[in-house]
Structure 1
Amino acid sequence: MAATIQLMYSELQNKFGLTDFKSESQKEVTKHVYEDALIEQRDVFINMPSGFGKSLCFQLPVLSKDYAFAIVITPTIALATHQVDYLRSKNIMAYCWNAYTPNSIKYIIKKDLIKKKPKIKFLYISPEQCQSLHFQVIMAKVNLRVSYYFVIDEAHCVSPSSHNFRKCYQSLDRIRTKYPHVPILAMSSTITKKVTLFYNQLNIVNCV
């Protein structure tokens, strides 16, 4: 545990220029993502309020491990673009993949992700594109020794009772079928007792 925290602090300063986490809770959640998802290959559920800094909780672990990366599923292109622009401003390799992404960029992403030592750290992708045959073929070629996980941002969008309901989110349970050994991180700030069935809807198992 102490070694993990020390590694987190080192990357926090090196990559983001920060000397400390926003809170003890953020630090603990980030540690759990690194140890439980990235190392132990377990699913993780993060339900924290807006402003908590949830993105850092899945970004820092990937940055702390060589050749690891995250596939981040986001409901809007604007949200994905904002995150990618921020990461690139920190000299962190990140890309967007959506219906408007040129084939030339998709080719660059494909060539990198299937390498033994990929340089891309974050790929922000739309739920529709994540389930496309083209993308699935690429992921099938990812080196088995490379560590990565899926991040489902705004996970509450899977529930019909949510005002942010996205029908395409309901088919994200296929991620578990397609990639049974890849951890899934489900993130939300609005999950309530009425929508906790999203565990079953997303086919999340053995969740921390």
Structure 2
Amino acid sequence: MKKSPLPLQNISVNADEEEKKKKIRGREALVKLLRWHFGHSDFRGKQLQAIQAVLSGGDCFCLMPTGGGKSMCYQIPALAAPAGIVVVVSPLIALMESQVMALKEKGIAAEFLSSTQTSHVKNKIHEDLNSGKPSTRLLYATPELIATPAFMSKLTKIHARGLLNLIAIDEAHCISTWGHDFRPSYRNLSSLRSHLPDVPILALTATAVPKVQKDVIQSLCLREPLVLKSSFNRPNIYYEGRFCSLISGNYLQTDC
């Protein structure tokens, strides 16, 4: 069953616009969204800082271990804004598909665009994106699609209507030529800033040495980004050495 939309909080229509924005990105309202849609009691690690940074209109670079909850850093902002779309750049179609399916099961309007979809499905998504008030809150797309002139033009038009809230780039280390997973299609994402100068960008990765981090920030033209690094310590994983005789007594008595 789909959940009904959760009102962030009761805000007077005559309230000051900046005051409304502060309430939207306040901890209480964000935790309420987290509990309602995802069933978690509180944020983990650097999640809240990343969310509040992009909701304030700033750029953010987030280094977080696998399983650390990177997706929450852009899914909650998509739900916190009264309207508009968060675009998520993801390298794997299977990953996009599974995330969108999980979000839809929670009643969250999410879609993905890929070469695997039928023309009918794509047309329905584009129809929604072209509308005055799209129902889609999270739109997943590959870096190859994002960099095409046609799709960039679409994003520009959505932004011109004030409906492009955030661009989240997952696996951002793929941008760097210094990284082991460099992908040329990711490098082309550098054009996002020139086409969409005032849209906040969130770069997320689980693997980035300082050289790669610097390259990603420069390539995406992030403006004084908040750089967040979560601990990679896994207290449930440890090394243990035990002595074990590899040669039994029987083998010791064997003539060579």
Contact 2:50 2:73 in 1 (8 A): yes
Deviation at 1:186, TM superposition (A): 0.7
Q: What residue in structure 2 maps to residue 57 of structure 1?
A: 73
Deviation at 1:199, TM superposition (A): 1.4
Deviation at 1:109, TM superposition (A): 1.8
Deviation at 1:31, TM superposition (A): 2.6
Q: What is the letter of the counterpart of residue 186 of structure 1? A: A
C-alpha separation in 2, matches of 1:52 and 1:149: 21
Q: What residue in structure 2 maps to residue 185 of structure 1?
A: 202
Give 3-state SS (helix, strand or coil) of 1:54's partner: coil
Deviation at 1:111, TM superposition (A): 2.0
C-alpha separation in 2, matches of 1:140 and 1:193: 32
- Name the stretch that deviates more: 143-152 or 86-95: 143-152
2:48 pairs with 1:30: no
Supply the RMSD in Å over aligned alpha carbons: 1.9
Q: What residue in structure 1 maps to residue 62 of structure 2?
A: 46
Matches within 5 A, 1:108-127: 108-127=124-143
Q: What residue in structure 2 maps to residue 155 of structure 1?
A: 172
Contact 2:51 2:76 in 1 (8 A): yes
Q: What is the letter of the counterpart of residue 127 of structure 1? A: P
Q: What residue in structure 2 maps to residue 174 of structure 1?
A: 191
Q: Percent identity?
A: 32
C-alpha separation in 2, matches of 1:184 and 1:42: 7
How many positions carry a matched residue from both structures? 202
Alignment partner for residue 129 of structure 1, among 145, 156, 163? 145
Tell which structure's C-alpha radius of gyration is larger.
2
Matches within 5 A, 1:197-208: 197-208=215-226
C-alpha separation in 1, matches of 2:196 and 2:97: 26
Q: Structure 1 unaligned runs (5+)?
A: 36-40
User: Any runs of at least 4 consecutive aligned residues in structure 1 with deviations exceeding 4 A, and if so which?
Assistant: none
So what's the TM-score if we normalise by structure 1?
0.88
| Structure in which a larger fraction of residues adopt helix | 1
Q: What is the letter of the counterpart of residue 51 of structure 2? A: T
Contact 1:127 1:168 in 2 (8 A): yes
